[in-house]
Structure formats: structure tokens, C-alpha cells
Amino acid sequence: MLYRSTRNADEKVTASQAVLKGLADNGGLFVPEQIPMLDVPVEKLADMTYQETAYEVMKLFLTDYTEEELKQCIQKAYDKKFDTKEIAPLVKAQDAYYLELFHGSTIAFKDMALSILPHLLITAARKNQVQNDIVILTATSGDTGKAALAGFADVKGTKIIVFYPKDGVSPIQQKQMVTQKGDNTFVVGINGNFDQAQTGVKKMFSDQGLAKEMAQAGYQFSSANSINIGRLVPQIVYYVYAYAKMVKSGEIKNGDNINVVVPTGNFGNILAAFYAKNMGLPIGTLICASNENKVLYDFFATGTYDKNREFVLTSSPSMDILISSNLERLIYCIAGNDAQKNQELMVSLQEKGSYTITEEMRQQLTSFYGNYASENETAATIREIFKDAGYVIDPHTAVAAAVYKKYQTETGDQTKTVIASTASPYKFTRSVMTAIDETYNSREDFALVDELASLSNVKIPKAIEDIRTAPVLHNTVCEVEQMQSVVKKFLS
């Protein structure tokens, strides 16, 4: 299976090359030439472990990795770093199934992909005779950064540089990043928002002069952002796994449709669900949930993607995004895999900040439903699900749960529904606790952590215990314009 660029019909690479490069030459994203069909029956998947399921899904996409290579990557990724053998457990609360994707080392769903990406990348480098050290450049709205740092720390032959919006992440997210250990790690706060950080990183990726300079110094860039196919593919796994587990437990019959609700930012997670659907997994509606940065809701409602709007800081910072990079893969797909057409829309996005798809393209979006939740609705949802079911969810997951309620009210659809639960409530303790009871706001961060433990009966994750006392190791802060010089300084 080869991968094509969404912006250049002539560029074709193998899976390992796509993983290695991250981004295609002219800023396009790599997409598989066609989506493979699942070739293992669900009855068989139902008895498989997470790791076995991962192999069955990933082998269909990463066809130039040998069985042994892929299985090793999977074993190294989904091991004791996860605090449950199930890796991604399903929890039923009220009338929805929460697929908990936060049991990895940084307690957010980014771990699902970022615990395997370093291994896929190092394997790809070996396969392609790469001599340079790989420098991972990443912009983060909070969760990617820490998950990438944890994945790459002290991995030989790699360095990792993470940029985060200094005032745009939660205190716990920030503390997690600036306490990161490892000689090859570098964390930088920028005076700007996530989109500016992401744009700065993308600029460095497409700067040929910089690439040359780096090569002379023995480095080459790669991306750990969700645009890397090495992140997208591992995310397909848990939808297949969840479906098979629901069949096994008798919640659904094999062949029944399920709906999926995904709290969405960069559109990576929901795109993985879309790919799973295209592999033949019986998914009905893909429910795309946004917070007050509702650019995707407006897109699904009108066919126009328009980032010209005020950027809102919300209690679900990992979704505070105005440019959902992975949407480009969907646009390319509904444009009939037409790189030229996609390129025109992306140029329009770059130059005018907006684009409008054709009616013909819109008609192919019928399996998507978009909506959003306000800050008040998000907090009310956390409070309500806790009071009603004793289950505590984080603000990102709450955005999804709130949107699911709107969907049910609007459509009356009774299909069994999986909600992607993307972060542990412990990662956003203050927002969660004040949603439950405003008076908690006067308490200190770690007092709230202890309070949450007694309220939820869920053990405090190791990731939180670890940062209680960890020293700050990174305190670089820069302006958006200085990102490139900061990179050079770190590598020299």
C-alpha cells in the first residue's frame, strides 16, 4: 500500500517513508491510496487482546513493516505504561458507552498513538537507511506535547522540541511538560495561541533552506503532530476493539451499527473513526463535537470552513483550535481524491482564511453530524452525569456527552453509542471540580486532586502523583517569530 499527498498527485511514498516524513513535500498530508477492508471476522476480534487487534488493523496500513517489526512496536507501546490490561476500557454510564482512552502515561488519549509512534519512526528510519538524528518538532494545545515528550524521552537517535501556548494550557498540562526529564527533550512556551504555534512549526517543516542547514548538522525534522500517518493508524484500532468488545459482551449483535461521538480539535480522532467505518466496521453516524471554537460545526452546517473568528479559550483546551489540520484528509476524499481541487481549497484557507466546498462534496458528508457545547453546557453535563451516574468525566469528554444529548433530542436515534473519552478528569481537576460545585474554586490544585479521588472513587493516576513534587526543568519562553532561532540554538 502506498501513500499519496493530498496536494500533489505525483508524490507517492511507502508507509514507512510517510511515517518518517510526517508531512508531504508541499505541505500536503499523506493518505493511503485506498482504505483496506478489515479481513478478520468480528467473532475472532472479540476474543483478541488490544495488542492483537492493533496488529490486525495496523498490518493493513503499514504494509512495508514486517510482522516482527510491527509486533515489536506494538509490544513496546501497549505495555505496563497503561494502568489497565484492557488498554482502552469501555464504561457504561447513563445510556452511553465511554471508551476510556486515557489509561496511558500522560492520562490523555494522545498516548494511544504517541506511545507507538517513536517505535514506528525508529523502525522506519532503520528501514530507509537514515543516518541523521530525527528531530521531532511539535506544537501542542496541551496533551500532544506531554504525550510526545513521554514517548520520545531518551529514545536513541531522536530529539524532541515542543512548543505550547504559554497561557493556553491547563496548569497541570503545563506542569507535566515543564517537568519532563530526558536529555533529548526541550519544551518552549510561546507568547501566542496554538494555531500560531502550529503555523510556526509547519513553516519550519516546509523551509528548504532550514532543512539543508539541518542536514549538514546531522539532523532531519519529523512531526509527532496528528498529521503523521503513524498517529492516525493506531487510532483506528480502538474503534475496532470497542466494537468487538460490545459484540462479545452482548451489548450489540455482530453487524449492528453503533454511533461514535468524538470531542474534536484537529480532526484526527474522528478521522480515524471515519477510516474504521470505511474499513467495514458498522458505524452509523460520526458525531463531531466542538467546544465554543465551533468552526467544524459551522462547516458541517454550511459547507464553508471559516477560521476568521475570535479564538476562545475554553475549559477543553485541547480542542481550542481554528485550523483542524486533519480535515484536509476528509476534504481530499470527498473531492474524489483530487489533489488539485484540494490544493485550491487549502490555498484559499491560507490566503483568505476560508473555503467553501461544492454541493457534490457536501452530499458525501451525510454520515457526519456536527454540533457544539458552550462552556455552561459543558459544566452542566459534568455535574449532571456525576449526580446521576456517579461517573466523573473531563471537560473534553463532557463536550462530547453534551453534543450527544443534543443529537438524541434532535434525531431520536436510539443506536448504541460510543463516546470517545479523551482525558482523565484528573488532568483538568479544577474545571471538573468547579463544574460539580463552584465553591471548590477556592481550593489549591492538589487539594482538589485529593477531593476528586474521594468523590469519584477512582485512584489518583501515577502521572498526577509524579508531578506533585517534580522540579521544573524547562523555562524557555519565546515570541512566535523566534521559534526558528530557538530550534537552532537547542540543536547547536
Ligand X SMILES: *Cc1c(COP(=O)(O)O)cnc(C)c1O
Nearer CB in complex with ligand X: 398/478:
398
For ligand X, the binding residue among 196, 226, 291, 456 (CB under 6 A) is: 226
Buried b (16+ CB within 10 A) or exposed e, 430-452: bbbbbbbeeebeebebeebbebb
One of 53, 123, 318, 378 touching ligand X (CB under 6 A): 318
- Contact status, residue 270 vs residue 325, Cβ threshold 8 Å: no
Return the range that interacts with ligand X (CB under 6 A); candidates 105-113, 241-249, 345-353, 379-387: 105-113
Q: Give the nearest distance from C-beta 467 to ligand X in angstroms.
A: 17
Cα(394)–Cα(304) distance, rounded to whole angstroms? 30
Give first-to-last CA distance, the chain, whole Å. 38
The whole-angstrom separation of Cα 460 and Cα 427 is: 10
Considering only residues 357 to 396 of the shown chain, the ones binding ligand X according to CB under 6 A are 396
Question: Which of 233, 224, 225, 242 lies closest to 87 in space, CA to CA?
Answer: 242
Tell me the longest C-alpha to C-alpha distance in the chain.
61
**How far is the C-alpha of 286 from the C-alpha of 419, rounded, in Å?**
10
* Least separation in angstroms between CB 196 and ligand X: 17
Q: Site for ligand X (CB under 6 A): which residue of 60, 108, 247, 478?
A: 108
User: Which residue, 393 or 478, is less far from ligand X as judged by CB?
Assistant: 393
Where does this chain touch ligand X (CB under 6 A) — which range of 26-34, 60-68, 265-273, 447-455?
Answer: 265-273
314 binds ligand X (CB under 6 A): no
Q: What's the rounded Cα separation, in Å, for the pair 390 and 476?
A: 41
**Does 461 help bind ligand X (rule: CB under 6 A)?**
no
Is residue 290 involved in binding ligand X (CB under 6 A)?
Answer: no
Task: Give the range of 16-24, 173-181, 257-265, 336-344 binding ligand X by CB under 6 A.
Answer: 257-265
Contact between 236 and ligand X per CB under 6 A: no
Is 323 among the residues that bind ligand X (CB under 6 A)? Answer: no
Q: Please state the three-class secondary structure of 146-203 as a single string.
A: HHHHHHHCCCCCEEEEEEEECCCCCHHHHHHHHCCCCCCEEEEEEECCHHHHHHHHHH
Size of the site for ligand X (CB under 6 A): 17
Binding span for ligand X by CB under 6 A among 50-58, 102-110, 165-173, 481-489: 102-110
Q: Which residues lie near ligand X (CB under 6 A)?
A: 108-110, 143, 226, 263-269, 318-319, 396, 422-423
